[in-house]
Structure 1
Amino acid sequence: MTRPPDASRRNEASRRAILTAAFELAGELGYAKLGVEAIAARAGVGKQTIYRWWPGKGAVLFDAFLMLSEDADGTSAELPDTGDLEADLKIVLRATVAELNDPRIAEPMRALTVEVATDPALAAEYAERLDEPVRELKRRRLRAALDAGQLAPGTDLDAAVDAVWSPLLTRWLLRSGPLTPEFADTVVETALRGLRP
């Protein structure tokens, strides 16, 4: 006896195909030329399937990034904590530099950043589903350093997160200079000079 097709499996396969297509096409065509029609054609689904699940291409691209981060989570999401805050932050920021310099990731991510800046609904979803959970991981690592006496008492952890990570993102987004591992190290050293007791 043959089983009827599993609709949830088919839906998950279609969802993944759509998200993969959106991510790939954003890198190949650029966000301005990316359209729901092209995503649907690449994914082998109808446009109505995409519009049933997402309000537009920005929301599709955001979910594509979430899918990538879920797929990459074979390792712990926690930031490294070897007891050496400077070394740990340099490892994390150097990995961030490598990711932001990867054209397969950088162009879709830059497009998503622009979309988040212009779409309040997408910005709220981005803050809730991605930015705040990632910020909490960063705060948690800095809180451990604060508890260990490696940061000045009373350090504002949100301001510290911004001091460590924002220079990389600003330089990347505005293309205002080379994004190198050496720059990442300098950012960590400079930020920690102001944050240490």
Structure 2
Amino acid sequence: MPDKPAPDASRRSEKSRRAIYAAALALVAETGYPKTTIEAIAARAGVGKQTIYRWWPSKADVLMEAFLDLGEQAAARQEGARADRQPDGIPDTGDLAADLKTVLRATVDALFDPAFEAPARALAAEGLVNDQVGRQYVAKLLQPQLELYVHRLRSAQDTGAVRPDIDPRIALELFVSPLAQRWLQRTAPVSYEYTDTLVDYALHGLAPR
């Protein structure tokens, strides 16, 4: 009898990791963050509880890593679909308004992607009352995205499209923060027209010229 090949431990671990990611995202969408437990994630993923604790110290770490992985997969698909996309994720065509509108429209699509929306809402809401989740949400997810806007606005300053005395970190909040608030609180509809208007208002101001 020929010897059977030994099981590939790395492949088995990756399969388990993917199952845990999927279970964590599904549970937080279905039951919310407070009711999602390590035990429930393990049962849903078909792994032992100790398998999860071997890789992550808490459910917050599991969920955040799963969510970040979800975003990376979406970005990879988008990268493959768009040959003109810049490596840093923000286009720089020389037209700042058009570039910001393009990015914000893509953000609207992501915010209402069924796979993304429920866990994103759960983690964002939990981050407001849970310091650990809030710190991770900002450091691992929000801040890297904001830095992309800072980089693009600084590029616009270099070309004279934005005043040199503007603080890019404050300026980006003129269009990013209203979108996030409207999406999270559902105070009004979110659309391409809305995000285009945010960019127009932010770049051209409200005062008559």
TM-score (norm 2): 0.83
Deviation at 1:138, TM superposition (A): 1.2
In structure 2, the residue matched to 1:50 is 52
Q: Does 1:192 align with 2:206?
A: no
What is the alpha-carbon root mean square deviation over aligned residues? 2.1
Q: Does 1:179 align with 2:190?
A: yes
Q: Secondary structure at the match of 1:70?
A: helix
In structure 1, the residue matched to 2:84 is none
In structure 1, the residue matched to 2:83 is none
Q: Does 1:150 align with 2:152?
A: no
Q: C-alpha separation between the residues in 1 aligned to 2:14 and 2:114? A: 27
In structure 2, the gaps of 5 or more residues are 80-86
In structure 2, the residue matched to 1:87 is 98
Instruction: Flag the structure with more relative contact order, 1 or 2, with Cα contacts below 8 A and sequence separation at least 6.
Output: 1
Pick one of 11, 14, 18 that aligns with 2:13: 11
- Asked if 1 retains the 8 angstrom alpha-carbon contact of 2:123 and 2:137, the reply is no
Pick one of 124, 133, 142 that aligns with 2:144: 133
Deviates more, 1:127-136 or 1:60-69: 127-136
Deviation at 1:179, TM superposition (A): 0.9
Deviation at 1:193, TM superposition (A): 1.4
In structure 1, the residue matched to 2:118 is 107
Pick one of 65, 68, 93 that aligns with 2:67: 65
Pick one of 8, 22, 36 that aligns with 2:24: 22
In structure 1, the gaps of 5 or more residues are none
Q: C-alpha separation between the residues in 1 aligned to 2:110 and 2:135? A: 24
TM-score (norm 1): 0.88
Q: C-alpha separation between the residues in 2 aligned to 1:98 and 1:155? A: 29
